[in-house]
Structure 1
Amino acid sequence: MDIAQIRTFIAVYETGSFLAAAERVNVTQSTVSIRIKNLENQIGSPLFERNKQGATPTAAGRQFLKHAVALSRIWDQARLEVGIGEEQETMVRLGAQVSLWDGFLLNLLPWMRAHAPEVAVRTETGNAPDLIRNLADNSLDIAVMYRPEQRPGFKVRQILDEELILVSSTEPGQDAFAQDYVYVNWGPEFQSDHALNFPDMEVPRVSLDVGTLGIGYLLNTPASGYFPKRTAAPLVRNGRLRIVEGAPHFTYPAYMVYGEALDETLVSLILAGLDDIRNALPELTGVSDSGKV
């Protein structure tokens, strides 16, 4: 089966048109027709109904879509893994929630380059359910997240205690909640703790679900919000933000999740790198890498 046929099928399915699919995959419309016809001959069933409005997937086409997407993803993975540089001996595929990259996991990339140049690293971001799903289908080797889903065949290691603090870009003496308080969604545990500590708070005018990226809002607009100490502390030190005195702090653990079959030498290497990075950041609370969950 030709991967070009698979990607052409996906393009037709998503655009609903042979002409639009041809533009997407950068071939002629007749080439698209030939590829789809060959694919239908191989599968033994028509995948699209052609009409003046375009191309409508048949029941077989709708069923085949999930397999086509999986085949395309596997092909991309294979190209990445086989195509690692001559200097690299292996590859680790590392995924994490976006807030854990900023100010923490990004530091692992230069550490790996310095301490393990023979290991190529491929990264991605995602929410916890997607990361767990990618671990399960073997498109990821390691995932880092706040709330891991316990599954058979996975190992879970706590790597970090994430402390959330209330910081503000408003003038000292101003009520952090009376101005422009920003509610950042740090997950269900934070939602519960926030509601318990601020039961009378009105619904904030601004709510964000972009993790540490939301701190940029405070830097451009006088406002307040909860953010990880590791991200906020450097901005507090240089005077761009201030810690709101008397406000409660919230602490949540972060974990590294990986399959039991992953090479323990590679696991130990990654944990050593995370230890070095954590110890180099005074804002982080230390967690022993021997701690298992």
Structure 2
Amino acid sequence: MQIELIETFLDLMETRSFNRTAERMNLSQSSISHRVNALEADLDCKLFVRGKGGTVPTAAALRFFDHAKALQQNWHEALRAVEAAGSYEQSMRIGMQHDVAEVIGAEFLKALRREMPGTSFYLEADYSNQMNRDLGAGDLDLAVLYTPHHLPDLHYERIADLSYMLVSTKTHSLEEILPDDYIYANYSPAFDRAHRMAMAHLTAAPLTTGRNMMVRDLLLTLGGTGYVLKATAQEMISTRKASAVSDAVDLMQTVYVATTVRSRHRSPHRRVLQILSELAQRI
């Protein structure tokens, strides 16, 4: 069975549209139909029914779904294992939330090289939504993220809480903050909810971003007020580039480690988690 058939099936299960899947996979609609027909021939059953309301999966498709995801994950893991062949015993692909990578990324890689010299590592900074998708597709072995999706085949563990602090280049108090000068930091849905509870009067802002360094750079370039990581805030305050908004509360963001359910007890994954947990104590 070709992996392209599996990936086409999984995408179609998500989009429920042959046209949309064709667009996402940069193929013609007839190519998608041919792939589905080939998979149906291999399985000897009908997988989708097309109607006016869209594409509807059959009972067979629903039963096949979890198996298809497992096949996709196994295939991607096999590809990575072959690509990493050589002097290394194994390889791991790790995703890390941008702001977490700023804080511990370098120390994390240093610890991995020291503690796991027989493993090659690939580390990329990304956002939670993409990392959840990549974990589910088998493109990542492990991810450090802000927003778990709690999918049936993914496992999440809480490892730390990051603190964000309100700083300003223009004022020292909440009542003096002007909405037009406010840079809205939207780091995650959970952070956004906490922010709306604490700062309801500043939810409408001319600029919004979800990265700590972007908020910092905007504050230094344009001036204004915004939430940044506590370590970033302390650096800005110590160099007199900004001041703390003294009557504002710090906002916390939980950090999770995610991997697949079937990988969570594997020795390399547990070792990486241990290293992350140790580093998290310094956050």
**Range into which the TM-score falls when normalised by the shorter chain:** 0.5 to 0.7
102 and 172 in structure 1: CA distance in 2 versus 1, 3 angstrom threshold? same
Query: 1:94 corresponds to which letter in structure 2?
Result: I
Question: For structure 2, which runs of at least 5 residues remain unmatched after alignment?
Answer: none
The match for 1:218 is 219
Q: CA RMSD in A?
A: 5.1
Query: 2:61 corresponds to which letter in structure 1?
Result: Q
2:76 is equivalent to residue 76 of structure 1: yes
The match for 1:5 is 5
256 and 66 in structure 1: CA distance in 2 versus 1, 3 angstrom threshold? closer
Q: How far apart are 1:225 and its partner, in Å?
A: 0.7
The structure carrying a bigger helix percent of its residues is 2
Give the 5 Å matches for 1:197-236. Answer: 201-206=201-206, 208=208, 210-215=210-215, 216-236=217-237
Q: 2:61 aligns with which of 60, 63, 82?
A: 63
| SS in structure 1 at match of 2:79 | helix
Query: 1:16 corresponds to which letter in structure 2?
Result: F
How far apart are the structure 2 equivalents of 1:189 and 1:172? Answer: 22
Give the 5 Å matches for 1:135-154. Answer: 142-145=142-145
2:275 is equivalent to residue 262 of structure 1: no
Q: How far apart are 1:177 and its partner, in Å?
A: 1.1
Give the 5 Å matches for 1:85-234. Answer: 85-113=85-113, 116-123=116-123, 125-127=126-128, 131=132, 134=135, 142-145=142-145, 156=157, 158=159, 160=160, 162-170=162-170, 177-178=177-178, 180-186=181-187, 188=190, 191-192=193-194, 195-196=197-198, 201-206=201-206, 208=208, 210-215=210-215, 216-234=217-235
Identity of aligned residues (%): 20
| SS in structure 2 at match of 1:88 | coil
Query: 1:63 corresponds to which letter in structure 2?
Result: A
57 and 115 in structure 1: CA distance in 2 versus 1, 3 angstrom threshold? same
Q: How far apart are 1:228 and its partner, in Å?
A: 0.6
How far apart are the structure 1 equivalents of 2:10 and 2:269? Answer: 36
How far apart are the structure 1 equivalents of 2:29 and 2:257? Answer: 47
Q: How far apart are 1:217 and its partner, in Å?
A: 3.1
How far apart are the structure 2 equivalents of 1:11 and 1:147? Answer: 22
Normalising by structure 2, we get a TM-score of 0.63
243 and 71 in structure 1: CA distance in 2 versus 1, 3 angstrom threshold? farther
How far apart are the structure 1 equivalents of 2:57 and 2:95? Answer: 34
Pair member with larger Rg: 1
Query: 2:86 corresponds to which letter in structure 1?
Result: E
Equivalent residues of 1:157, 1:256 under 8 A apart: yes
260 and 12 in structure 1: CA distance in 2 versus 1, 3 angstrom threshold? closer
Deviations 1:207-231 (A, max 9, x none): 6361425414324422211111223
How far apart are the structure 2 equivalents of 1:132 and 1:40? Answer: 25
Equivalent residues of 2:131, 2:143 under 8 A apart: no
Aligned length: 267
The match for 2:44 is 44
174 and 69 in structure 1: CA distance in 2 versus 1, 3 angstrom threshold? closer
The match for 2:26 is 24
The match for 2:242 is 242
Normalising by structure 1, we get a TM-score of 0.62
85 and 220 in structure 1: CA distance in 2 versus 1, 3 angstrom threshold? farther
How far apart are the structure 1 equivalents of 2:106 and 2:229? Answer: 15
Equivalent residues of 1:182, 1:223 under 8 A apart: yes
How far apart are the structure 2 equivalents of 1:268 and 1:167? Answer: 37
